[in-house]
Structure 1
Amino acid sequence: MGHEQQERGSGHLLLFPFLAQGHLIPFLNLAKRLESLGQRGGSGHRRLAITVVSTPRNVASLQRALPAGSSIGFAELPFSPSDHGLPPDAESADAVPLHAFPTFTLATELLRPSFEKLLTELAGREGRKNVCVLADMFLGWTAETARALGVQHRMFLTSGAYASAVIFSIWLRPPSFPRSAGPDDELALTDFPDVRVRYAEFLNVVVKEDYATDPMLAYLCRTITLHFCHSGGILINTSEEIEPKGLHLIGKLSGLPTFAVGPIIGGRTAPDDTAADQDTCIEFLDSKPQASVLFVSFGSQNSIPASQMMDLARGLEASGRPFIWVVRPPVESDGAKEFRADWLPDGFEERVAAAGQGVVVRGWAPQVRILAHASTGAFLSHCGWNSVLESLWHGVPVVAWPLLADQLFDSRVLVELGVAVEVASGRLVGGLGSKGWECVRDVVETVLGDGDKARDMRQKAAEMKKLVRAVVGGDADGDGKGSSVLAMERLLDSAFD
């Protein structure tokens, strides 16, 4: 064995995700990837210990998602949602009504004292130079804590590079739209003069027109600034092959080294009572021709207005194309536990079921299994970054309907890659607008039909599938490493050497 292959000491990675499924899952998948890297002798046979930090309910859920024999550890921080007027089980943003999301986000800063105690004990036991915190973008205060204790810190972006750069710039230095601005009026960003943002997009990022006095926006600005000032680099769930422009922009904005460690994807954990829905979805796909089914889902915490839900239903039915639609209560009914029949056209579910055209799932569906199925031909998505990466990984073209924040700019990335067509944009402002159900019908036909556009998108999606899988490639001997593996090794070298 050559000298360069000798063991290079130990390191303890403390992973701290924001309390939301869209963040917890990528962090757990990152932990699994790092564990695998250590097992196969990555970065010169470095011994790695990995601990994921969260609240008790989240830890229990994440532990269930680990394979047997995993060495990944967990640390629990106490959190009492009811102290903040939130539901007692609201340890994850998915259990919080949308209107209470700012309250929930601000409440997570109260985890700081117990996190400081945990980090102090770990650094004292293992040595400050042997510990590195990998923390979520929403937890900027962890960078300040780590700096004070002399511990290494890296920010982990679960979103894409381009979208992150754009929305961070909007938060920190909002473009000065006049009050008289129309939805389609555009302004260039102060940090990126070649990036233009529409007023409708701006409002769906800052959420409130009186953003200057919004405590949530103030928190976001503070958390990003803390990362940029005190962190030692940014891990991003993307790759140079997917987002070269985005990686350049986020590096320019932050002034920090970037580590493109993605795409990091993995299975999503189902609630215990959804086996029937899972079986129904797969059986439906098994009965349909290859690349013929449209999968429709707006993610675990997003929805659209009731009127647009009606238009979506009418457009899907009018298209005649088979579909699986994961429905959630509309925006106006935020917090509703049950889905009401009158949120869909009269007899819609019965008609599409009788015709064998559609399956309407109320709750959870096995998204990864659906996207991996040969009969899935397209994905009508809100363009959350996890869903974007899963669509690219499985080579599935996208009908983009972004709603908020980074989703709006993730859609741009997909369209520029040639694997998506945007049907609507925005939730607070915009959406389908006056286009109505006919627009849904026409776009579904464009993506699933036999025309040149559909063929071109399918070809480009197949090319991206090969590309993103090569990014994380590598064999048991550590040869032929993809750029994601090399980025992780550079990360470990920077943190512990």
Structure 2
Amino acid sequence: MGSEHEHGGGHLVLFPFLAQGHLIPFLNLAKRLESLGQRGGSGQRRLEVTIISTPRNVASLRRAVPAGSCIGFAELPFSPSDHGLPPDAESTDVVPLSAFPAFFFATELLRPSFEELVTELAGRQGRKNVCVLADIFLGWTAESARALGVQHRVFLTSGAYASAVTFSIWLRPPAFPRPAGPDDEQSLPDFPDVRVRYVEFLNVVVTEDYATNPMLAFLCRMVSLHFRHSGGLVVNTSEEIEQKGLHLIRKLSGLPTFAVGPLIGGRTASDDTARADEDDVCIKFLDSKPAASVLYVSFGSQNTIPASQMLELARGLEASGRPFIWAVRPPAEFDGTEKFRAEWLPDGFEDRAAAAAQGVVVRRWAPQVAILAHASTGAFLSHCGWNSVLESLWHGVPVVGWPLLADQLFDSRMLEKLGVGVEVASGRMFGGLGKGRWEHVRDAVETVLGDGEKARDMRRKAAELKELARAALRAGEDGEVKGSSVLAMERLVDSAFG
């Protein structure tokens, strides 16, 4: 390996947080890095890429890697039951919300086995040939990497603007008066031109006792460790999409920043066969509808809304008269693994939607990428998680925003500023859609899917952003100009092994 380094080689060790919304972007990053090495870009550099995680996650990731890939994997031992967690809880997907703090705290106990692995790699390949690329929630890896003498970069799976605002709120909360009304605003100490409402602030810090909250203290420590010890910040976005956001995150972190996105596509599903029926139902429904006419509704793989708001959403969808596909999960008050109950939706709602060929309701999961790529999909009612935002932009689909927590609130704000989003409700812990406000859903759906000037303008801007997102990833082959994100990926590798 020493001779490889002389000719521009290097070993990138990718360490995602243990959550589906983090594992998939890291896998997509690994594929892109592997492709960069195969193309011989950045001075004919040869790269080795290894993803490390716990055994269940590694098994799932392996199944998602195409045949012939040279991406490697390494397992770190993890015993969830030692921390009062379900025995299979190696990802937040199967962790109850109430147990999230215990799960986050437990991930720090992976440190000894992580350091043992990196020490072994550095001893075999040379410290200068190894760079750790770790998740923002694994800040202790930056401290470990510095102590072990290897390079370190932090990877943000969320957007630049929302991350900058969220981290600023965590690290230096704005001083709201007490008591404060939900719409009272304050500027952020780090960004005087960014103002947040009190209800947004509460949905970021999650609890009003934030000053003594151990979970928030943990998150602040992880971010601070990265900012102090890492050698650079890698962001799943592009310069064209998030120019302002990248300026803010550079200012906040003080780190060299590499915008390498959008990194989208792929999944780590363990039961694809069981999901084939949902694929078939959704795509057949879309095939039966006109172009840009269907609303896709999903709050992501882990997020959901309270039961009362689920009823309002259903009433608004029905009243809109627009066709829809809704991937529905149990309400926020219930365990996500609980069997779905009829009373969570209006009486007869599903039957009426089916009889009128207006809508399809699927449980928990839908083939999101295939739906967004379909010509009949006209809008996405989304929680505005960053992976969903990127998939919307990639396919040129406008968004009806219903953000729930943390960075989602500011992803929704960014989409509105870009002209491709309209917000229908905001907040899960605080705020949300009030009782009897189903008209807001109906009106928002009509704004995006209707024939008015606003809808036409959103569709036009979404199409423009689709082209910008794809241009950022042009490989520079056959005489074309390299995209900004490809150039950023090359600079990232050069910074680690140059």
Q: Normalising TM by the smaller chain, what interval?
A: over 0.9
Which residue in the other structure is 1:194 paired with? 193
Describe the superposition over 1:177-225 as per-residue Cα deviations: whole angstroms up to 9, x where unpaired. Answer: 1231011000000111111011000000001100111111110111111
Describe the superposition over 1:288-322 as per-residue Cα deviations: whole angstroms up to 9, x where unpaired. Answer: 11000000000001000100000000000111100
Letter in 2 for 1:60: A
* Preserved CA contact (<8 Å) 1:7 1:45: no
Q: Shift in Å at residue 480 of structure 1?
A: 1.6
Letter in 1 for 2:331: P
* Preserved CA contact (<8 Å) 1:42 1:478: no
Which residue in the other structure is 1:483 paired with? 484
Which residue in the other structure is 1:368 paired with? 369
Which residue in the other structure is 2:232 paired with? 233
Describe the superposition over 1:396-435 as per-residue Cα deviations: whole angstroms up to 9, x where unpaired. Answer: 0000000000000001111000000000011111111356
- DSSP 3-state at the match of 1:274: helix
Query: In 2, Cα distance between the equivalents of 1:38 and 1:368?
Result: 27
Which residue in the other structure is 2:470 paired with? 469
Which residue in the other structure is 1:117 paired with? 116
Provide the aligned length of Structure 1 versus Structure 2. 492
Which residue in the other structure is 1:60 paired with? 59
1:494 partnered with 2:495: yes
Query: Any residues of structure 2 matched to 1:326-475 within 5 Å, and which?
Result: 326-433=327-434, 436-475=437-476
* Preserved CA contact (<8 Å) 2:329 2:364: yes
Which residue in the other structure is 1:3 paired with? none
Query: In 1, Cα distance between the equivalents of 2:188 and 2:435?
Result: 28
Query: In 2, Cα distance between the equivalents of 1:170 and 1:481?
Result: 36
Q: Shift in Å at residue 475 of structure 1?
A: 4.0
Q: Shift in Å at residue 479 of structure 1?
A: 4.8
Which residue in the other structure is 2:316 paired with? 315
Query: In 1, Cα distance between the equivalents of 2:262 and 2:470?
Result: 8
Query: In 2, Cα distance between the equivalents of 1:347 and 1:482?
Result: 50
Query: In 1, Cα distance between the equivalents of 2:352 and 2:94?
Result: 32
Letter in 1 for 2:143: E
1:303 partnered with 2:304: yes
Query: In 1, Cα distance between the equivalents of 2:481 and 2:264?
Result: 20
Greater Cα offset, 328-337 or 481-490: 328-337
- DSSP 3-state at the match of 1:135: strand
Query: In 2, Cα distance between the equivalents of 1:441 and 1:369?
Result: 25
* Preserved CA contact (<8 Å) 1:294 1:379: yes
Query: In 2, Cα distance between the equivalents of 1:296 and 1:179?
Result: 37
Query: In 1, Cα distance between the equivalents of 2:344 and 2:300?
Result: 18
Cα 1:94–1:296 shift into 2, 3 Å? same
1:127 partnered with 2:126: yes
Query: In 2, Cα distance between the equivalents of 1:323 and 1:468?
Result: 26
Which residue in the other structure is 2:218 paired with? 219
* Preserved CA contact (<8 Å) 2:312 2:435: no
Describe the superposition over 1:87-143 as per-residue Cα deviations: whole angstroms up to 9, x where unpaired. Answer: 111100011111111111111001000000000000000000000000000000000
* Preserved CA contact (<8 Å) 1:41 1:478: no
* Preserved CA contact (<8 Å) 2:307 2:344: yes
Query: In 1, Cα distance between the equivalents of 2:268 and 2:177?
Result: 45
Query: In 2, Cα distance between the equivalents of 1:139 and 1:294?
Result: 36
Q: Shift in Å at residue 84 of structure 1?
A: 1.1
Which residue in the other structure is 1:137 paired with? 136
Which residue in the other structure is 2:158 paired with? 159
Q: Shift in Å at residue 335 of structure 1?
A: 3.6
Q: TM-score, normalised by structure 2?
A: 0.97
Percent sequence identity over aligned pairs:
80
Q: Shift in Å at residue 269 of structure 1?
A: 3.7
Q: Shift in Å at residue 477 of structure 1?
A: 5.6
Greater Cα offset, 432-441 or 244-253: 432-441
Query: In 2, Cα distance between the equivalents of 1:239 and 1:274?
Result: 32
* RMSD of equivalent CA atoms: 1.2
Query: In 2, Cα distance between the equivalents of 1:442 and 1:46?
Result: 53
Letter in 1 for 2:399: V
Describe the superposition over 1:296-353 as per-residue Cα deviations: whole angstroms up to 9, x where unpaired. Answer: 0000010001000000000001111000000000001134421111100001111101
Query: In 1, Cα distance between the equivalents of 2:222 and 2:47?
Result: 28
Query: In 1, Cα distance between the equivalents of 2:118 and 2:370?
Result: 38
* Preserved CA contact (<8 Å) 2:474 2:480: no
Q: Shift in Å at residue 176 of structure 1?
A: 1.5
1:30 partnered with 2:8: no
Describe the superposition over 1:10-38 as per-residue Cα deviations: whole angstroms up to 9, x where unpaired. Answer: 10000000000000000000000111111
Letter in 2 for 1:343: W
* Preserved CA contact (<8 Å) 1:188 1:197: yes
Describe the superposition over 1:142-179 as per-residue Cα deviations: whole angstroms up to 9, x where unpaired. Answer: 00000001100000000000011111111111112123
* Preserved CA contact (<8 Å) 2:312 2:436: no
Describe the superposition over 1:261-290 as per-residue Cα deviations: whole angstroms up to 9, x where unpaired. Answer: 111111224433111011100000001110
- DSSP 3-state at the match of 1:164: helix
* Preserved CA contact (<8 Å) 1:40 1:476: no
Which residue in the other structure is 1:14 paired with? 13
Query: In 2, Cα distance between the equivalents of 1:478 and 1:472?
Result: 14
- DSSP 3-state at the match of 1:179: coil
* Preserved CA contact (<8 Å) 2:8 2:43: no
* Preserved CA contact (<8 Å) 1:13 1:48: yes
- DSSP 3-state at the match of 1:333: coil
Query: In 1, Cα distance between the equivalents of 2:436 and 2:382?
Result: 18
Which residue in the other structure is 2:48 paired with? 49
Which residue in the other structure is 1:266 paired with? 265
Letter in 1 for 2:26: F
Letter in 1 for 2:234: L
Mark the runs of 5 or more structure 2 residues left unpaired by the alignment. none
* Preserved CA contact (<8 Å) 2:329 2:336: no
* Preserved CA contact (<8 Å) 1:268 1:366: no
Cα 1:246–1:400 shift into 2, 3 Å? same
Mark the runs of 5 or more structure 1 residues left unpaired by the alignment. 1-5
Query: In 1, Cα distance between the equivalents of 2:479 and 2:452?
Result: 43
Query: In 1, Cα distance between the equivalents of 2:162 and 2:447?
Result: 26
* Preserved CA contact (<8 Å) 1:281 1:370: yes
Letter in 2 for 1:447: V
- DSSP 3-state at the match of 1:9: coil
* Preserved CA contact (<8 Å) 1:205 1:404: yes
Query: In 2, Cα distance between the equivalents of 1:329 and 1:363?
Result: 8
Query: In 1, Cα distance between the equivalents of 2:11 and 2:266?
Result: 25
Q: TM-score, normalised by structure 1?
A: 0.97
Letter in 1 for 2:43: G
- DSSP 3-state at the match of 2:333: helix
Describe the superposition over 1:211-264 as per-residue Cα deviations: whole angstroms up to 9, x where unpaired. Answer: 111111110111111000100000000111011111011111111100001111
Letter in 2 for 1:260: A
* Preserved CA contact (<8 Å) 1:40 1:478: no
